[in-house]
């Protein structure tokens, strides 16, 4: 199973490309496209609601393992830059730069564009990502792009095996009621293999939820390994009590305040005490206030771009997480909205 997200600026060709990679499914602030061939399933997510909102961008990236960053012949713009800052803060491992609309430009211009992106992404998690020029009109590069995606997918599958020894976890992105079945959720198994009849809890509410049955790509299965996109029928819980952002697991920390060890993006404006930031973890988000900032053991009023600090944040919404989760801090009032990433300070 391969899960990819197509991101980039407005009119960079994201939706046209996604439509060529699968059959359109559910549409919301993210749109999913599915393609299945000889047992292999490709799920492509178009972060439709981006750049208006950054939430769909983070949702889509969290539900996928590979990012396709679309760059049109006009070159990168502020939103492209914002996508690159987000990927770097996420430490996003796998992706491909797709130089779109190649039929509308020239080979030397494509080379120049590639060099520009290479310069921008030097010393980021994207420095070794590959490049491909594609056209959805002439189909140039489309087959190569698919091959590159499937090659990366094999590496991803191997890496995901490492999550197989850890406690089971499912990231929920949709929930609804099905007449005669009850609560059904859609999501991704991020850790371990889940089985029908597994007893889990829905966090942050900490309500019991037993897995009644599992479907993968509309086919009933008894179990689903790490990395699977699944539909789960749940017992002991109603669909109104579980929503996008919930985590099915047996152990999560739940709190309304956080102490995070943060690294600020060099492309942020810094952070000050009393700022209200929107924090994201998995598919959850919450506004939180910066209560204290500590740099090198000293409490400070503010800290600048690129700095390391410990932030104590408070909010009024319960969030579920564990100590390995990466938090993303954003400021929705800035032009470049991604500010910092951080982990629980232990």
Ligand X SMILES: Nc1nc2c(ncn2[C@@H]2O[C@H](COP(=O)(O)OP(=O)(O)O)[C@@H](O)[C@H]2O)c(=O)[nH]1
Catalog residues that contact ligand X under the rule CB under 6 A.
Answer: 8, 10-16, 100-101, 103-104, 135-137
Instruction: Supply 148's token pair.
Output: 């590159």
For the window 9-48, what string marks contact with Mg ion as x by the rule CB under 5 A?
-----xx---------------------------------
Q: Which does 231 bind (CB under 5 to 8 A by kind): ligand X, Mg ion, none?
A: none
What residues are paired with 101 via a beta bridge?
none
- Residue closer to ligand X by CB (options 8, 227) is 8
Rounded least distance, CB 103 to ligand X, Å: 5
Q: Please, what is the minimum distance in Å from the beta carbon of residue 41 to Mg ion?
A: 23
What are the residues whose beta carbons fall under 8 Å from the beta carbon of 174, sequence distance 6 or more?
26, 185, 186, 187, 244
Listing DSSP states for 296-307 in one string gives TTEEESEE-TT-
DSSP state of 325: P
Q: Which is nearer to ligand X, 12 or 228 (CB)?
A: 12
For residue 43, the minimal CB distance to ligand X (Å) is 18
| Alpha-carbon distances, residue 53 vs 60, 82, 252, 330, 335 (angstroms) | 12, 12, 28, 12, 12
Q: Does 241 bind Mg ion (CB under 5 A)?
A: no
Name the residue nearer to Mg ion (CB basis): 50 or 97. 50
Q: Within the chain, where are the H helices?
A: 14-20, 55-62, 78-90, 107-121, 142-161
For the bound state, the minimum distance from the C-beta of residue 33 to ligand X, rounded and expressed in Å, comes to: 12
What contacts 13, CB < 8 A, 6 or more positions away? Answer: 70, 72, 98, 100, 101, 136
Which CB sits closer to ligand X, 7 or 214? 7
In angstroms, what is the minimal distance from the CB of 278 to ligand X? 24
**Measured from the CB of residue 265, what is the shortest distance to ligand X in angstroms?**
24
For ligand X, give the closer residue by CB, 99 or 230: 99
Residue number, 16 or 236, with CB nearest to ligand X: 16
Q: Least distance from C-beta 46 to ligand X, angstroms?
A: 7
Residue 268, binding choice from Mg ion, ligand X, none, Cβ under 5 to 8 Å by partner class: none
User: Which residue, among 71, 76, 70, 68, has the nearest Cα to 45 in the 3D structure?
Assistant: 68
Sequence-distant (≥ 6) Cβ neighbours of residue 93 within 8 angstroms: 65, 125, 159
What does 55 interact with, of Mg ion, ligand X, none (CB < 5 to 8 A by kind)?
none
Helix (H) or strand (E) run with residue 69 in it: strand 66-71
Q: Among all chains, which residue has been given the structure tokens 């009933």? A: 220
Q: Which among Mg ion, ligand X, none contacts residue 294 (Cβ within 5 to 8 A by kind)?
A: none
Which does residue 100 bind out of Mg ion, ligand X, none, counting CB within 5 to 8 angstroms by kind?
A: ligand X
Please state, in angstroms and rounded to a whole number, the distance separating the CA atoms of residues 289 and 193. Answer: 37
List contacts with Mg ion (CB under 5 A): 14-15
């Amino acid at each position: 199973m391969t899960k990819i997200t197509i991101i980039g600026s407005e009119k960079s060709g994201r939706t046209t490309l996604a439509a060529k990679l699968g059959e359109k499914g559910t549409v919301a602030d993210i749109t999913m496209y599915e393609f299945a061939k000889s047992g292999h399933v490709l799920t492509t997510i178009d972060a439709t609601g981006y750049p208006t909102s950054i939430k769909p961008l983070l949702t889509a990236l969290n539900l996928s393992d590979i990012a396709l960053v679309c760059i049109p012949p006009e070159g990168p713009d502020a939103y492209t830059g914002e996508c690159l800052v987000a990927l770097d803060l996420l430490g996003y491992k796998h992706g491909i730069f797709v130089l779109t609309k190649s039929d509308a430009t020239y080979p030397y211009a494509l080379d120049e564009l590639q060099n520009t992106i290479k310069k921008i992404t030097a010393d980021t998690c994207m420095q070794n990502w590959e490049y491909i020029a594609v056209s959805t009109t002439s189909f140039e590069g489309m087959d190569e792009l698919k091959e590159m995606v499937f090659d990366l997918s094999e590496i991803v599958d191997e890496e995901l095996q490492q999550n197989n020894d850890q406690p089971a976890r499912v990231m929920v992105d949709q929930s609804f009621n099905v007449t005669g079945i009850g609560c059904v959720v859609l999501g991704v198994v991020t850790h371990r293999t889940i089985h029908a009849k597994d007893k889990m809890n829905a966090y942050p509410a900490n309500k019991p939820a037993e897995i009644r049955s599992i479907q993968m790509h509309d086919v009933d299965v008894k179990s689903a390994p790490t990395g699977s996109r699944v539909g789960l029928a749940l017992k002991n819980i109603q669909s109104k009590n579980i929503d996008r952002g919930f985590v099915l697991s047996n152990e999560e920390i739940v709190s309304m305040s956080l102490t995070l060890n943060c690294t600020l993006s060099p492309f942020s404006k810094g952070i000050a005490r009393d700022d209200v930031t929107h924090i994201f973890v998995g598919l959850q988000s919450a506004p939180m206030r910066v209560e204290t900032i500590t740099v090198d053991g000293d409490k400070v009023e503010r800290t600048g771009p690129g700095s390391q600090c410990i932030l104590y944040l408070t909010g009024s919404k319960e969030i579920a997480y564990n100590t390995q989760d990466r938090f993303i801090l954003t400021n929705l009032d800035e032009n470049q909205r991604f500010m910092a990433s951080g982990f629980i300070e232990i």
